[in-house]
Structure 1
Amino acid sequence: MRWLGCYRLGLLWKALLVFLAIAFAGQLLGVIFSKSVPSERPHPMFSLPPAEAQGASLGSCRPHTHVMFLKTHKTASSTVLNMLYRFGDERGLRFALPLGYQFGYPLPFNAHRVKGYRGPHVVDFSIMGNHMRFNKPEVEKVMPPDTFYFSILRDPVALAESSYAYYKAVAPAFKRAKGLADFAADPWRHYDPRLRNNHYARNLLWFDFGLDHNANFSEALAQRGEAAVRRAFRLILLAEHFDQSMVLLRHALCWPLDAVVSFSLNAR
């Protein structure tokens, strides 16, 4: 019986040694195999492309770093300006910033309203984009000759609604009206061009572009205004087609894709 017990123990030890040998061999083969075949890390389902793919330049063009954006009112312009701030800040570019409030708006822009301005082209400013009443001869004193000029427009009806909601506390014409419908029914009953801040109540985009917003409308006047805008600006964005406008802007400026990615700002 003692011999039989020893025999059984011997078999158990042999089986254990064989098992350990097999396990060790398997582990060794696994290490060798893992070294010889490089493993690929699984990609998440919603992973973004590499940064270089997102930020690749467009062909052989060179990115514009001298940019002037006419920031019009109630047109999603704050979102665009935020892009310019981000692009310029990441690259250490110099901004032409207001010395006071909005370059003296609603007065026409004057170069001396720029912080740090010391004369025409003494300081190399790269980006200008705060609210102003456009006055290109004065802007040209600040910005380099190769500056890319662009702005943004919005459907006049949507703009009027947004302007009324936003400026009804500061524009006398809006204050006098019981509501937007009351104002629209008879604007001249509420509007007085001599009162401060009433420019918000009539042809606001026309005013921002430096044109006479109180001029009597005619087709010839509209055509002259359009021609003036076309001469002054390389690109006009449309708020109603914001995403498409960003594609056009990216190509026009030759900027990387991540430079025109944005979140909406100051939207109602």
Structure 2
Amino acid sequence: MTTHVAFLKVHKAGSTTMQNLFFRFGLKHNLNILLPKTRNYLHSADQKMPLKNGEHYDIFACHTVYEKEWFDSLLPADSVKIGIVREPVSRIISSACYYRDVFHVGYLKKIPRENFVHNLINYPSHYDPGFFSHTRNTMGKDFGFKSGIRRTQVKRYLDKLNSEFLLVLIMERFDESLVMMKRLLNWSLSDIIYLKTNSYKHNHIVLNDTEIAKLKSTNDNRYWHPEAFLRDCESG
């Protein structure tokens, strides 16, 4: 049974549900869970809650930006890395509504509420000009992509991530992903039972092909139709 796990908590991709699952596993097996001294984001080593001399952390499942050496320094050498991704269009819509209504993020609050998501997508230079934001290239930032990365470098970095992560879960295939994780980690069925957490309901929003093409042009990601995203994920 694998007990040393570093989970990359990706924003608005089912990661809080996974965080609770990992925390429960740690408590069940009397493991040391790495937590920041404040909030839910680990920026640096001095944020870590202290341990007794001779002890080490076993589970990490809080927000941070992935960087191999940083992750490797958090847990023992035999730890495994697990991440999660979500189909980008649904993630952007969910994130826009969530961070506007729950966290009252400034740039999202400035967008007219009528046709809110459509305005965000159709006028990115006005409403969302940065390379990274809550609604632009978020998964890439969490996985450690650098601002301004060239398209020719993306495949190379994805291959690097593929060699470093044991498993990347797919939110749209959540139950199937958990079964695979259970087998890889040699966990029990009770270890992967979950309750959905931090899910935010919003009005159903449908984007047309022109808007999806607009997203593709303003975000460096080639999976802009749910069917293409799932097909490529399932084909490995």
The answer on 1:74 being equivalent to 2:12 is yes
- Long gaps (5+) in structure 1: 1-62
Q: C-alpha distance in 2, partners of 1:101/1:267? A: 19
- Quote the Cα distance in structure 2 between the aligned partners of 1:191 and 1:165: 14
The equivalent of 1:199 in structure 2 is: 133
How far residue 123 of structure 1 moved from its aligned partner, in angstroms, is 3.4
* Identity, % of aligned positions: 26
Aligned length in residues? 195
- 1:11-64 Cα deviation digits (max 9, x unpaired): xxxxxxxxxxxxxxxxxxxxxxxxxxxxxxxxxxxxxxxxxxxxxxxxxxxx00
Selected match of 1:130 from 49, 55, 62: 62
Task: Find the counterpart in structure 2 of residue 229 from structure 1.
Answer: 161
Q: CA RMSD in A?
A: 2.1
1:156-175 deviations in whole A, cap 9, x for unaligned?
00000001011125444323
Distance 1:135 1:170 in 2: 29
TM-score, scaled to structure 1:
0.67
Corresponding position of 2:110: 176
**Correspondence 1:47-86 to 2 at 5 A:** 63-86=1-24
Closer, same or farther in 2 for the Cα pair 1:224/1:67, shift >3 Å? same
Q: How far 1:228 moved relative to its partner?
A: 2.9
Q: What's the CA shift string for 1:147-197, capped at 9, x where partnerless?
A: 010011000000000010111254443233221100100211112439xxx
Amino acid in the other structure paired with 2:173:
H
From the superposition, tell whether residues 230 and 183 of structure 1 become closer, same or farther in structure 2 (CA, over 3 Å). same
* Alignment correspondent of 1:102: 40
Instruction: Show the counterpart of 2:49.
Output: 115
Q: Deviations over 1:68-111 (max 9, x none)?
A: 1011111111111111111111111001111222334xxxx322
Please state whether the residue corresponding to 2:73 is helix, strand or coil: helix
Amino acid of the structure 2 residue aligned with 1:215: G
Aligned residue identity for 1:110: S
Q: Per-residue CA shift, 1:105-131, capped at 9, x if unaligned?
A: xxxx3222211169xx95311100011
Greater relative contact order, per chain length (Cα 8 Å cut-off, separation 6+): 2
TM-score by structure 2 length? 0.76
The alpha-carbon deviation at position 248 of structure 1 amounts to 0.5
Q: If you compute each CA radius of gyration, which structure gives the higher value, 1 or 2?
A: 1
- Asked if the contact 1:69–1:129 (Cα under 8 Å) also holds between the matched residues in 2, the reply is yes
Q: Secondary structure at the match of 2:41?
A: helix
